[in-house]
Chains A and B, each alone.
Chain A
Amino acid sequence: MPNRDYLGEFEHIVILALLRLGDRAYGVTIRQEIEARISREVSIGAIYATLNRLEVKGYVKSELGDPTPERGGRSKRFFRVSAKGMAAVNRTHRALQRMTSGLDVIERYS
């Protein structure tokens, strides 16, 4: 039976931001990347709520960095996409491609 667990819209955006940022992906950079690329202002809480959900599903992994003075001595939590997460991105991407192929609405309304 095929795995039908596709990513939600915002989950998809967050994972793509993680892939773009590589080893620089933490709350601030993820938020800024999303804001810069799609002009969508998101709260840091929304980012962490989504990352937490993705971590529970096993799609992302996280680790703490070193504390820094500009953060009041607090550490950054760095995130990276797991192999399971990559499979979920590919699955979602393929599903979207299959659904949009042959449709000219995207061209027409873009």
Chain B
Amino acid sequence: MPRTSLIRPPIIAAWLVDLLTPYEQAESIPGDLLEEFSDLVSKSGVAIARRWYWRQSVKTIGLLIGIGFCVAPWSIVGTVLGGYLLLAFGASRSWVEDAIVGVIQFRRHHVTPYYSNLEMENYVFWLNASILIGHLLMSLLIGCIVAAVAKGREMVATVTLGFIWTAIVVKAILVLVTRHWPEQAFLLHFLVDQFGSSGLIVMGGVIVRESRSAISRRRPSRV
């Protein structure tokens, strides 16, 4: 067996290509890149081949999202719209906050009564931190749901939803800042909550996609 077949392409680039390739092209695009990479390793050396692989991957990744969208535009639009409604519902209703406040109040009254300022500060800190974590977990869950529904196009759907949510957040920040510069602590909490949500929506897509890939690797099937 030739030695070049043992040299692998850059791990992160190969992972991103695998992750973003639509189900229909899951064999052909990563396979084509690997084949040309192996050829280039034997002809021009590893360093040039790796640079070529990175260049091709970066150019290809954006287009892969476009391909995923073109293959099934209405299914992507429907899934993203559903995800957006779930996010909007989650953001507009205070049930996450209510549940967290309920748990903390229960601890306060029935387990640990507050007597000092320090304990009160601790209470406020844990209340804010719990609400933030609750929101982020909700975004992760919505990302997983969207990815599960957009079978084969998990990353296209979650990246699109993440971009839409980020655009809405940026607009909200601009409105907020132009009206009245918010308190620093509030702004930081808001930024972590909202941008973290966008990131975790995409992370939900990664989790579902990777799980499906692992299952399909165990049970190989042809497209």
Interface: B27 (CB within 8 A)? yes
Residues of chain A with a CB closer than 8 A to B36's CB: 28, 31, 44
Residues A30-60 near B (CB distance < 8 A): 31, 43-46, 48-49, 52-53, 56
Chain B: how many interface residues by the 8 Å CB criterion? 27
Provide the bound-state CA to CA distance between A65 and B134, in Å.
48
Please judge, given known A-B contacts A46-B63, A69-B5, whether A76 and B28 are in contact too, CB under 8 Å: yes
Identify A77's interface contact among B25, B34, B56, B71, CB under 8 A.
Answer: B25
Q: Which 8 A-B pairs have the closest CB atoms?
A: A45-B60, A74-B31, A45-B63, A43-B59, A27-B32, A77-B28, A71-B31, A75-B27
Interface: A64 (CB within 8 A)? yes
Interface: B149 (CB within 8 A)? no
Overall SS of chain A's interface: helix
Residues of chain B with a CB closer than 8 A to A77's CB: 25, 27-28
Asked whether B67 lies within 8 Å of A27 as measured between CB atoms, the reply is no
Asked whether B222 lies within 8 Å of A28 as measured between CB atoms, the reply is no
Asked whether A64 lies within 8 Å of B223 as measured between CB atoms, the reply is yes
Interface: B137 (CB within 8 A)? no
| Chain A interface size, under 10 / 10 to 19 / 20 to 34 / 35 or more | 20 to 34
Fill in one digit per residue for B47-73: 1 if any A CB lies within 8 Å of its CB, else 0.
000000001100111111011001100
Nearest to B30 among chain A residues (CB) is A74
Residues of chain B with a CB closer than 8 A to A28's CB: 32, 35-36
Residues of chain B with a CB closer than 8 A to A67's CB: 27
Interface: B33 (CB within 8 A)? yes
**A11: min CB distance to chain B, Å:** 14
Asked whether A72 lies within 8 Å of B71 as measured between CB atoms, the reply is no
- The 14 sampled A-B contact pairs (Cβ below 8 Å) are A27-B29, A28-B32, A28-B36, A43-B60, A45-B61, A46-B60, A49-B70, A68-B31, A71-B35, A72-B31, A75-B31, A76-B28, A76-B32, A77-B27
